[in-house]
Amino acid sequence: MGRSNVGKSSLINALVRQRVARTSAAPGKTRLANFYRVQRGSVPALYLVDLPGYGYARGGDASAREFNRLTEAYFERGLGIGDQGSVGTLRSSQSPTPDPRSPVSIGVLLLVDARHPGLDTDLDAWAWLKSQPCARAVVGTKADKLTRAERARHARKLESVFDSPVPLVSAETGEGLDELWKLIARLPNPRTAA
């Protein structure tokens, strides 16, 4: 999850090395929760879920509220998948859906633009995410847009405002993606982290 235009859909494409998620230079592109089933090597299959962004909506406030409602509904239902089995209700029609009978662990990545550490909307999202019963991590996107000096400075600032490690990634250059896969693999169950 993350602000509109932060690069959520692009990052999914970069992680799976295919253009599966639609992206756009204009914010407000992704309008439904889209599930992408990923099978890598011998690791059990997982779903990458692309959510609409917050903080922008072409239709103004009413539309922005609808995005927020959709995202919150995803979490409320998605996190309760074991009892409700309703995680698929917000899927896009083309996307495969997790089997609601399977046990599922959910980890959430909050994507923030590495150029803009500590925006209020991102801090609010992080505070809300910390109140949810799920594993979570912050990731800084568009690292290719930072100079080397900015990179070090912004990384420190990000880690300080989120009080958490914040790896930097670039969907454009592929920087940080191997590390991000490792983070994703251990996220739902941090105790198994290497």
Residues that bind Mg ion (CB under 5 A): 8-9, 29-30
Q: Is 97 in the site for ligand GTP (CB under 6 A)?
A: no
Q: Judged by CB under 6 A, which of 33, 34, 53, 154 binds ligand GTP?
A: 53
Q: Is 34 in the site for ligand GTP (CB under 6 A)?
A: no
What SS3 class is residue 191?
helix
Minimum CB distance to ligand GTP, residue 141 (Å) = 5
Question: 81: Cβ–Cβ under 8 A, 6 or more apart, which residues?
Answer: 87, 98, 100, 104, 106
Structure tokens at 169: 């990634």
* Stretch of 79-87, 157-165, 170-178, 182-190 lying at the interface with ligand GTP (CB under 6 A): 170-178
Q: Judged by CB under 6 A, which of 58, 145, 153, 182 binds ligand GTP?
A: 145
Residue 140: CB atoms within 10 Å:
27
Helices 8-16 & 177-186 angle (0-180, nearest 10): 90
Q: Is 141 in the site for ligand GTP (CB under 6 A)?
A: yes
Alpha carbons 85 and 102: distance in angstroms, whole number:
9
Q: Which of the listed partners (Mg ion, ligand GTP, none) does 121 bind, with a CB threshold of 5 to 8 Å by partner kind?
A: none
